[in-house]
Amino acid sequence: MCIEANHSLGADMRAALDKAAETEDSPVGKHVLAQLQENLKIAEEDRIPICQDTGMAVVFADIGQDVHIEGGFIEDAINEGVRQGYTEGYLRKSVVGDPIERVNTGDNTPAIVHYRMVPGDELKLTFCPKGFGSENMSRVFMLKPADGVQGIKDAVIGAVADAGPNACPPMVVGVGIGGTFEKCALMAKRALTRSLDEPSPLPHIRALEEELLAEINKSGLGPAGLGGKTTALGLNIESCATHIAGLPVAVNICCHVNRHAVRIL
Amino acid sequence: MEYHLTSPFDEEELKKLRIGDSVYINGIIYVARDAAHKRMSEALDAGEALPFDIKGQTIYYMGPSPARPGRPIGSAGPTTAGRMDKYTPRLLDLGLKAMIGKGRRTDAVKEAIVRNGCVYFAAIGGAGALLSKAIKSSETVAYADLGAEALLKLRVEDFPVIVVADTAGGDAYRRE
Ligand code: SF4
């Protein structure tokens, strides 16, 4: 799973990149997008990671409440999978065991695992290796209710502009709106795992997704930040209930290497 | 414009380059990222020599994925240059001539670039598989214990980059 996610992108990402390569009209932008297409081809053919930053392993584990896990602790199993995948798959080990002492763990563990109980008897694992060029440019804003939709737009567009060339545009933008401080950040991360051709089922959120994406692509940042109209390939929003006094907004920025692999057990 | 140049670079050739130019680099480039920069800076603080003669050289901000057997290197795209900004002006003043990375630099770095007649190139972020094809050999020069952050010496052929900061003070990331 680790290897698959790091060697090829989903069909939605490839389609978005191909479409951008056709519609981009800045010459340098076109040149960059063509290189990115070529890069995906080489990665798949030569079994080499699309990007050298093969990420920190983020795993969403959706556990059906009728599932009973036997034979060991699930998180140990996930970490063992990451260890094997990153070691045997020639992936880069980019994790330090302590944020201050900063010694590399040598096998890319531990994974960051987010568990969620769901109805049913299936266990769904979504593995998304996250590169930090773009992760470092992500933000959480605790807006006031009075800031409203305009406040949300300013926050998202401002975060993307600040990210600029560091986040390896064209980017994919995950937005979480509502909930609490931590919930909106988690929603923003989860939004990145939703297919780019699957808009929000809520009409007003879907409209906001379209408007923000169009606005971001008007910024002129372009591929690799060198100018053009392809700044973002997609923007997904997840939203949920929040408190009468708050409007949390999280912007999780991902690069064009928005990878994931899904397994249902 | 498009150029094919050899690193270490000829100073006169660097002066001709302008932001937006495509350059294909041949020759030798060194690789260092966060931890290697920290060590180099500590060595200088302690009055020690750097592990390589930096005069006239090129540093690529990069941490590769491991090489498969029989290949010189794994995926090898640029990392964010801004994290090295704290250490960069000093290295430029010591004779470093060119840098390859991605993303914006601080004013202090841009001033040191102009002061010393240097160039900052961008390689395409996230194109690590493509860029690895241009790398013909790789050897560890120092700090092997840093793993993916070790100091490397690469031999490259037609390594594709774009000029993003030139000797005249141009900055390709500036948007009006
Ligand atoms: S931001 Fe993405 S494409 Fe850029 S270096 Fe990091 S993982 Fe790779």
Retrieve residue B168's tokens.
């005249």
- Residue B78 DSSP class: B
CATH of domain B2-165: 3.20.130.10
Decide: residue A146, CB within 10 A, 0-12 exposed, 13-18 middle, 19+ buried: exposed
CB contact under 8 A, A220 and B175: yes
Measured CA to CA, the distance from residue A138 to residue B93 in angstroms comes to 33
Whether chain B has a CB inside 8 Å of the CB on A54: the answer is: yes
CB contact under 8 A, A166 and B67: no
Residue A64: HSE in the Cβ half-sphere, 13 Å Cα cutoff: 10
CB A186 within 8 A of CB A176: yes
Measured CA to CA, the distance from residue B89 to residue B61 in angstroms comes to 15
Return the ligand 1 atom nearest residue B78 CA.
5
Question: Inter-axis angle of helices A11-23 and A27-46, to 10 degrees?
Answer: 150
Which among B110, B156, B114 has a CA at the least distance from the CA of B137? B156
Measured CA to CA, the distance from residue A122 to residue A108 in angstroms comes to 27
Write the pLDDT tens digit of every residue in B21-36.
999 999 999 999 999 9
Question: How would you write the pLDDT of chain A (265 residues) with one tens digit per residue?
Answer: 777 788 888 889 999 999 999 999 899 899 999 999 999 999 999 999 999 999 999 999 999 999 998 889 999 999 999 999 999 999 999 999 999 998 899 999 999 999 999 999 999 999 999 999 899 999 999 999 999 999 999 999 999 999 999 999 999 999 999 999 999 999 999 999 999 999 999 999 999 999 999 999 999 999 999 999 999 999 999 999 999 999 999 999 999 999 888 888 8
Decide: residue A105, CB within 10 A, 0-12 exposed, 13-18 middle, 19+ buried: middle
Write the pLDDT tens digit of every residue in B42-63.
999 999 999 999 999 999 999 9
CB contact under 8 A, B175 and A49: no
Domain locations in chain B as residue ranges: 2-165
User: Helices in chain B by DSSP H: which ranges?
Assistant: 11-16, 34-45, 88-93, 107-116, 128-132
Return the ligand 1 atom nearest residue A134 CA.
1
In A, minimum Cα distance to B126 occurs at A51
Closest in A50, A90, A255 to B68, CB measured? A90
Question: What is the number of residues in chain B?
Answer: 176
Question: Residue A164: CB within 6 Å of ligand 1?
Answer: no
User: Helices in A66-147 by DSSP H: which ranges?
Assistant: 74-88, 132-135
Question: Residue B125: CB within 6 Å of ligand 1?
Answer: yes
Q: How many helices (H) and strands (E) does chain B have?
A: 5, 7
CB contact under 8 A, A226 and B102: no
Q: Whose CA is nearest to atom 8 of ligand 1?
A: B126
Question: Residue A13: CB within 6 Å of ligand 1?
Answer: no
Element (H, E) at B28: strand B22-31
Residue A14: list chain B partners with CB under 8 A.
Answer: none
